[in-house]
Structure 1
């Protein structure tokens, strides 16, 4: 069975409030028919910190609307990028922030189950990086109660970090749970200068969600195939782990979004189809 190919929410639409990546409040529905016309399988929904209360993922009415558009278009939502936790990390020093983030994640898990989500990506990068042993300890203690909920609902909490392979594996193993897995971002790893072979040897079997992106070393996103990501090497490593999760295009975007996406979609179909991955 081939893997689902999808897009990070908003990449097929004009930028929301000029932001590079955000849930498109008020016009998110427009993306589903566009995704269908491009032959995609899914959209990775975003839960932002800003206006999170009005995100359809946060209410029963929103879930009903989302279910309706998924059924009408056939474009699934099997994963969520919970950028909320970049602004309100579970290892925050503020106990009120932590308590609210735990409530948000608990509600997100319950609602995600209703629409058939398999992965909720928890980003621990940039301002939410796990910079110290103390951060890791707090993150573990504060996420642990939600891990049990995720296990009961059979949903992965897919961690995205900027840690090196061994440190990342250590964090995942702390939880000792089938529900704590890895989001692998091809471009971010290239930007950090990590060796894909070392990464896959460490935590390849834990990967349940993959972001397709290209970046230059120590720099930002660029069009796919023009950065430092070693796609051929990464794809051969993915084949070896019998990966069954989605491939989500989180590729470089401009203000308009659609034309540059189409160009990169052709690139992905050429490269990934050869390996029989999509």
Structure 2
């Protein structure tokens, strides 16, 4: 069976209805669409969709035969699990629970989480401890809902390698926590690809294919809007790694 290849919602026209978006993905030859719930008001509003709105999307999935197996939940940039602000921390847990419930209703199996303790705030040992505490709670909810959580390898030093994810996973110790690498982000931090994917292959839920410009002594890198083949990803080596029998993830 060929590996499923999907398209991220943000790579499709924003004005599309979900019916149109799924039909577009099918016409383009993709197997699935990954939904975005980012920090914008418009996409965070999906967390409180009515039953009717949820059923309309489920019907579109069945009508087109194009699945939505995952949600990229980056709303935690705005409401981080490790926030120093008790109100933002509470909101991070509220939105996390809502996202898990949305996933249940839509048949989504994986929620990708941003690997930040905080994004707009100053990082500290306290933000890390708070992030881990709240991630444990999120994993408990995910286990009850039978929905997997998968941490993205980020554009941020907090979790910028599979190796760092594995350290977090060891502390959390949940069968419902996985990692969701990004080829560009992993490469931008000069990680050893063979070691990264060998160590983490059993924990990988899925993989984003993307190019980036590398982080250097003189540059913070660029983690989005980099054309394929123009960035730092060694695609020949990357696909050699991904062809190994131990790596069978969807793209």
Q: Give TM-score scaled by structure 1 length.
A: 0.77
Partner of 1:140: 132
Partner of 1:240: 244
Unmatched 5+ stretches in structure 1: 14-23, 248-278
- State the alpha-carbon separation in 2 of the partners of residues 56 and 86 from structure 1: 15
Partner of 1:227: 231
Give a deviation string over 1:204-248, Cα, whole Å, max 9, x none: 22110211101121332422122211223222323335444421x
Moved more, 137-146 or 52-61: 52-61
- Does 1 or 2 have the higher relative contact order (CA < 8 Å, sep 6+)? 1
Decide whether the 8 Å contact of 2:83 with 2:121 is kept in 1.
no
Alignment of 1:252-267 (within 5 A): none
In the superposition, relative to structure 1, how do residues 140 and 130 fare at CA in structure 2: closer, same or farther (>3 Å)? Answer: farther
Of the three residues 29, 36, 40, the one matched with 1:50 is 40
Decide whether the 8 Å contact of 1:160 with 1:182 is kept in 2.
yes
CA RMSD after TM alignment: 2.4
Partner of 2:157: none
Alignment of 1:173-212 (within 5 A): 173-212=170-209
Partner of 1:8: 8
Of the three residues 60, 66, 69, the one matched with 1:75 is 66
Partner of 1:261: none
In the superposition, relative to structure 1, how do residues 58 and 171 fare at CA in structure 2: closer, same or farther (>3 Å)? Answer: farther
Decide whether the 8 Å contact of 2:77 with 2:119 is kept in 1.
yes
Give a deviation string over 1:143-200, Cα, whole Å, max 9, x none: 2122112112222111013434433210122111121110100011122222212312
Query: Once the 2 structures are TM-superposed, how far is the Cα of residue 87 of structure 1 from its aligned partner?
Result: 1.5
Partner of 1:35: 25
Query: Once the 2 structures are TM-superposed, how far is the Cα of residue 62 of structure 1 from its aligned partner?
Result: 2.2
Of the three residues 153, 161, 178, the one matched with 2:145 is 153
Decide whether the 8 Å contact of 1:32 with 1:73 is kept in 2.
yes
- State the alpha-carbon separation in 1 of the partners of residues 54 and 184 from structure 2: 31
Partner of 1:168: 165
Unmatched 5+ stretches in structure 2: 155-159, 216-220
Decide whether the 8 Å contact of 1:58 with 1:108 is kept in 2.
no
- State the alpha-carbon separation in 2 of the partners of residues 208 and 129 from structure 1: 29
- State the alpha-carbon separation in 2 of the partners of residues 198 and 235 from structure 1: 14
Query: Once the 2 structures are TM-superposed, how far is the Cα of residue 58 of structure 1 from its aligned partner?
Result: 3.8
- State the alpha-carbon separation in 2 of the partners of residues 244 and 112 from structure 1: 23
Of the three residues 121, 129, 139, the one matched with 2:112 is 121
Q: SS state of the match for residue 181, structure 2? A: strand
Q: Give TM-score scaled by structure 2 length.
A: 0.84
Query: Once the 2 structures are TM-superposed, how far is the Cα of residue 3 of structure 1 from its aligned partner?
Result: 1.9
